[in-house]
Amino acid sequence: MTLDVDPPEPPELAAVDPNEYEDAEVAGGEYRRDELEAFLREGAWEEAFEEWAAGSDMDEADWRIALDLDLVSRFDFFWDDFADRVGYHAPGLPEDWKERDLHPDLDSWGTVSAINAGLTELGQIVCETLKREYIDWEAEFEAPDDLPDFDE
């Protein structure tokens, strides 16, 4: 399936400790958000978005809800030096979406699931694009000398 929509503006990355997210555990404190945000603006966001949209299961109605709720602006991307990767936190709709009456067109768990899954997939593709096409730095983490040698 293809989602035929224009890419939104890339998110502005806030100075949040990624360890505050329930879905992330990151060692170190240098998250390189300024550099990542610059890469997003230089084309990584649009490139990743187009790749994602070409195979997305979200439809235009789901995407419109995500935009109306300003979910895209709540993405976070950060460098995880220990894992030598770009980490991310994808925004999502809460489990109590029905009680909160978040959006007039938000009326089923199927829609909630499609939006949450779609945004997670977008975040992953953005991370892969950044690492593959834009990042040329190496992780600074060095393993301790006392780790066992499994090659023998």
**Mean pLDDT, residues 65-70 taken together:** 96
The residue extents of the domains of the chain are: 32-134
Q: What is the pLDDT of residues 84-95, one digit of tens each?
A: 889 898 999 999
- Report which of 51, 86, 71 is spatially closest to residue 116, judged by C-alpha positions: 71
**For tokens 């995407």, what's the residue?**
63
Identify any residues that bridge with 89 across adjacent strands, giving them in sequence order. Answer: 76
Residue 109 has pLDDT above 60, yes or no: yes
pLDDT tens digits along 7-64: 999 999 887 655 566 655 655 566 788 899 999 999 999 999 999 999 999 999 999 9
Q: Please name the residues in contact with 35: beta carbons below 8 A apart, sequence gap of 6 or more.
A: 79
The per-residue pLDDT for range 123-152, each reduced to its tens digit, is 999 999 999 999 887 655 555 555 555 555
In the prediction, which pLDDT does 90 show?
92
Q: Rounded distance, CA 135 to CA 65, Å? A: 32
